[in-house]
A and B are shown apart, each in its own frame.
Chain A
Amino acid sequence: MAVDKNMNVLIVDDYKTMLRIIRNLLKQLGFNNVDEATDGSMALQMLRVGNYGLIISDWNMEPMTGLQLLREVRADAKLKSIPFIMVTAESKSENVIAAKEAGVSNYIVKPFNAETLKTKMSSVLGDFA
């Protein structure tokens, strides 16, 4: 099934600059409906009222981390099937294992490039040109 590039994508990061970078990279991949949240709890509020097809989240945020957000999303009947990509500088194997156990769809280590973002998005959404 073709990927709907008009889907709403929620990006979550406490660094405004990183939100801007990811938004620009998504735009270049053809995804223009992008919303931003600056921590996990803000993201959760937006997810509960919105209709999102993908979550791309940082890990290290306060007060709610990306891992806590992931657990909340997976525990919520309405949200649990939304693909969740963690984009983080946390690259220890225990981090990756913890994220996997919490139900992460894919994991990108910062710094990353557009090709990596595209590959990981394709792996969770399906191929898109």
Chain B
Amino acid sequence: MTAKGVDRDLELRLDAIRREHGETVGVEKIAEVVRSMLDTMTGDLDGGDLKLFREVESLADYIHNAKAEIAALRPGEIKNEFIASATDELDAIVGATEAATNEIMDSAEHLEALAPMMDAEVAERMTEITTRIFEACTFQDITGQRITKVVRMLKEIESRVESLVKAFGGEIESEGRKEKAIETDEDLLNGPQLPTSAADQAEIDRLLASFD
């Protein structure tokens, strides 16, 4: 097939793909077109065609290698496990600091309510102290805003990884969260659990009692 013949065939195939998939085409589809083009390029090739052939062949190799490298990164796992887990942990930090801040302020307000029962000098001193407590509590707002920014960035990364997974179609499967097998003592070091999955003291007591 001559270069002109290749151009015509390529045009026809591209038109067919556009009709089927629109302007966004998965990497697998591109590789399929390249393979198909290579299959058709047999017979009367001249020097220019051979150069084109080598270029297309190296493009196919490049796509193949890139796919293998990206698959080795396990983007499905990054998206479903690492990023999801990181955002959950950050949300938990905001929730916990907010709850703690409100507890601290409850206590400061109770202290303030005692002021009328004290002599003026002590009451004034205590008001100064409770003011410092209220001022210090502003950390929670700043912390919350900073963490919200980080969560937003993580969600952006998550959406880009998702696009990558989609582009590869079925070759990189979205992996769900997997329970890690416990093989060593280090595997037991999970840190604080998220409120939704943490066992409370009563559950721990029941579990311990079940051994008796």
Contact = CB atoms under 8 A, between A and B. Distances in A.
A109 B33 CA distance: 58
A23 to B, nearest CB: 9
Interface stretch (B24-32, B50-58, B72-80, B131-139): B131-139
A24 B145 contact: no
12 contacts: A15-B140, A17-B102, A18-B138, A20-B102, A24-B112, A24-B130, A24-B134, A25-B134, A25-B135, A89-B142, A113-B135, A114-B131
Interface in A1-51: 13, 15, 17-18, 20-21, 24-25, 28
Interface of B: 98, 101-102, 105, 108-109, 112, 127, 130-131, 134-135, 137-142, 144-145
Contacts of A28: 127, 130-131, 134
A112 B138 contact: yes
A111 B139 contact: yes
In the A-B complex, the 4 residue pairs with the smallest Cβ-Cβ separation, listed nearest first, are A111-B138, A113-B135, A18-B141, A24-B134
Nearest to A27: B112
Interface in A77-124: 89, 110-114
B105 A60 contact: no
Q: Looking at chain B's contact residues, is the secondary structure mostly helix, strand, loop, or mixed?
A: helix
Contacts of B139: 111
Point out which of B101, B139, B141 has the most chain A C-beta atoms below 10 A from its C-beta: B141
B105 A20 contact: yes
B145 A89 contact: yes
A24 B140 contact: no
Contacts of A89: 141-142, 145
Contacts of B105: 17, 20-21, 24
Contacts of A13: 141
A69 to B, nearest CB: 18
A111 B135 contact: yes
B137 A17 contact: yes
Contact of B142 (A20, A24, A25, A110): A110
Nearest to B97: A17
Nearest to A113: B135
A37 B131 CA distance: 23
